[in-house]
Amino acid sequence: MPLPSSFCPYVGLQPYTEEERDFFFGRERDQRVIASNLYASSMTILYGASGVGKSSVLMAGVVPMLRTRARTAVVVFRDWQRYDFLTALKGECLKCVALATQKTVKTAVDRPLDELLFSVGEEFGGTILILLDQFEEYFLYHPESEAGNTFDGEFARAVNRDDVDANFLLALREDGLSRLDRFRARIPNLMGNLLRLRHLDAAAAEDAIRKPLTAYNDQLDQGETAVTIEDDLVRTIIDQVRSGSVSLAPSAGAGQPQDVEDDTRIETPFLQLVLQRLWEEERGASSHTLRLATLQKLGGAQEIVRTHLDAVMAQLEPREQTLCAGFFDRLVTPSGTKVACRLDDLGKWAGDLADQVLPVVNVLSESRILRTIAAPASQPGMPPSYEIFHDVLAPAVLDWRRRFVEQQTLEEIRREEQNKRDQERAEREREQELEKTREKSRRMRIIATAALCVMALLASLTFYAFQQRKEAIRSQKLAVASQELAQQRLHRIKNSIPLIKAALSDDPFKNLDKLAASTPELFNKDITFKVTYKSLNYTNPNGSSVYNFKIFPEIASIPGGIKSIASITYRMAHPTFAVQLVPTSPNDKFTIAYNGWGTIDVIAIIEYADPEEAPTIAIIDMEKVQTPE
């Protein structure tokens, strides 16, 4: 079948699928090793760094290879965000066995997993190979505390039973390996067959570049021009996408482990993203050669990768960017794990911009920033869910949101400063007009007094002297009062600007200490803040217990009530927070919540509804005010 004109043999950030197996190269040895282990062991654990290509090697390499073997049913499952995932997994097992046998399977889907696999295995008479991809998401969506979840026990029995002819492969991120401890008590020798998928080396990366072009050219109609690639471009791309050379964000992100491999290892998603961009650029210019000059014109691999997300976000309107900033942090945990969220939940978080959510997520889905997850077939009326398209995008999404929020905060400060300057200018202009009116009145009084002096010179002179002295005293008082008012307003503005800048600086507590003595009135001592915490019953990779913290002001302690405050922005001044500026509003009662461990000092920037009132700062010592929820 001829390829469509829009076809690209490189997939960008999305994993290769089984339909794209003819264009998947560079993992031939890994495919054979994984397939052999899957056949030989009842439990195989495949792990690797985020973005190393686990899903691609399984879907485009291992699965097509296994499907060619007789009496073998291959099941692939990754829909862990579903509340009914266990039923869906069982249904997929029955579907794949029916496909392998070309017969209807009689086993009921409501049986426990081990019993279902035993029963369907008796009907099948062959081997069932079950690949559970992106398994780290199972722990994210289904914690041990989840009520009614029987998967742990059913899965362990299915692995342990000798009479169940089914072998399992768990594919997960390297930083999720420790979470498998949840099964240690149930599955003996759980970690006995570990396979690590490493980044491509230079030779494999060259295959991943050249061989898809060969496969593409082989499928061209007779007379069509083949696509070629310059040798210098191949060498340059491999050199520029080595591990650690490029990233989608300035840093890997909190909780993103760095792959400790030599510098000949290639970042697969970045390699594919660069190749896809070069293909689109050359084909858009009707060129049949991928050229080094085009890569250089685009700024090299680092620039292509770095601007991928920013280029998409720049196409959105300011209101749409504000909307994305409002829900991006819901789609990524602080540790960089993507989380699926339903469309109606995104609408609730969007507030007044709820009607813009669907058009925006559609744009992001078309640009492969988000992935759409359809509702279960059993619940067709349920809204779809959305998640970050690829794990490697998670740090970039958090970084974009951080930069956007910081820019919005600085712009708000500049607007407030400009408003204050405009108000002062208007006040000065009013004072000048008033002075002109006074001057005109004085001249009229002088003329009238002069006319009266003709009739009664002595009386008029006495009266005039008295009036002039009285007017001078009144004018002097008005001038002094106006000057004092202007000086007070200017003093507040001058003091508040360094205070806000200090709170937003790299070392806020040191800079705030310097200002405490000179501007104590801008440090809020009236409003008291509370911190509550609740255990989430799991630990981080360092063994520390993880809690859900909430920080909020006691409404009763606000002198003017909740309506007197426009917003409170919390500065989480600690390197473990990817997003350090968190704005809040009266709608959420100025409350923030996050998952973490340990306590820190938090800076609260309080902005008032009255534009005449300067912002103030409060320092929250979480350790002193925290109480269990």
pLDDT at position 451 is: 64
Nearest to 549 by CA among 567, 574, 566, 526: 574
What residue type is 387 in one-letter code? E
Q: What is the mean pLDDT of residues 60-73?
A: 94
Using a cut of 0.85, tell me whether the model's pTM lies above it. no
Averaging pLDDT over each range in 108-112, 451-455, 498-502, 571-575, which range is the top one?
A: 108-112
**Which of helix, strand or coil describes residue 172?**
strand
57 touches 34 (CB < 8 A):
yes
370 touches 386 (CB < 8 A):
yes
What residue type is 189 in one-letter code? N
Q: How far apart are CA 180 and CA 158, in angstroms?
A: 16
Q: How far apart are CA 110 and CA 99, in angstroms?
A: 20
What contacts 276, CB < 8 A, 6 or more positions away?
Answer: 8, 10, 11, 12
DSSP letter at 538 equals E
Confidence of residue 391 (pLDDT cuts 50, 70, 90): confident
Nearest to 165 by CA among 132, 197, 193, 126: 126
Bigger pLDDT: 349 vs 120: 120
Q: What is the mean pLDDT of residues 367-383?
A: 74
pLDDT at position 226 is: 94
Q: Which two tokens stand for residue 564?
A: 């007197």
Which of 46-50, 213-217, 574-578 is the least confident region? 574-578
Bigger pLDDT: 565 vs 519: 565
Q: How far apart are CA 31 and CA 39, in angstroms?
A: 12
What percentage of the chain has pLDDT greater than the value 90?
46
Instruction: Report in angstroms the alpha-carbon separations of 469 from 300, 446, 472, 473.
Output: 80, 13, 5, 6
What percentage of the chain has pLDDT greater than the value 70?
88
Q: How far apart are CA 500 and CA 508, in angstroms?
A: 10
Report the CATH superfamily, name and number, of domain 27-196: P-loop containing nucleotide triphosphate hydrolases (3.40.50.300)
Among 3.20.20.140, 2.120.10.30, 1.10.10.10, 1.10.760.10, what is the CATH number of 315-389?
1.10.10.10
pLDDT at position 472 is: 56
Does the pLDDT at position 488 exceed 70?
Answer: no
Q: How many CB atoms lie within 10 A of CB 460?
A: 17
Nearest to 56 by CA among 12, 22, 18: 18
pLDDT at position 500 is: 81
Which of 48-57, 337-346, 478-487, 510-519 is the least confident region? 478-487
Q: How far apart are CA 119 and CA 114, in angstroms?
A: 9
Bigger pLDDT: 500 vs 132: 132
pLDDT at position 252 is: 43
pLDDT in tens, 216-259: 999 998 889 999 999 999 999 999 888 666 656 554 443 344 44
The residue count for the chain:
629
Nearest to 52 by CA among 238, 245, 196, 216: 196
Q: How far apart are CA 546 and CA 45, in angstroms?
A: 26
DSSP-assigned beta bridge partners for residue 172:
47
pLDDT in tens, 144-176: 888 888 999 999 999 999 999 999 999 998 888
Give the pairing type, strands 529-539 and 545-553: antiparallel
Whole-angstrom Cα Rg for the chain: 34
Does the pLDDT at position 364 exceed 90?
Answer: no
Q: Which CATH class is domain 514-628?
A: mainly beta
Does the pLDDT at position 260 exceed 60?
Answer: no
**In which residue are the tokens 């409404």 written?**
555
Q: What is the mean pLDDT of residues 112-140?
A: 94
Report CA dihedral (100, 102, 106, 112) to the nearest 10 degrees: 20
Which of 134-138, 483-487, 513-517, 555-559 is the least confident region? 483-487
Q: Which two tokens stand for residue 207?
A: 């295959």
Which of 125-129, 207-211, 263-267, 399-403 is the least confident region? 263-267
Does the pLDDT at position 468 exceed 90?
Answer: no
- For the chain, give the mean pLDDT: 86
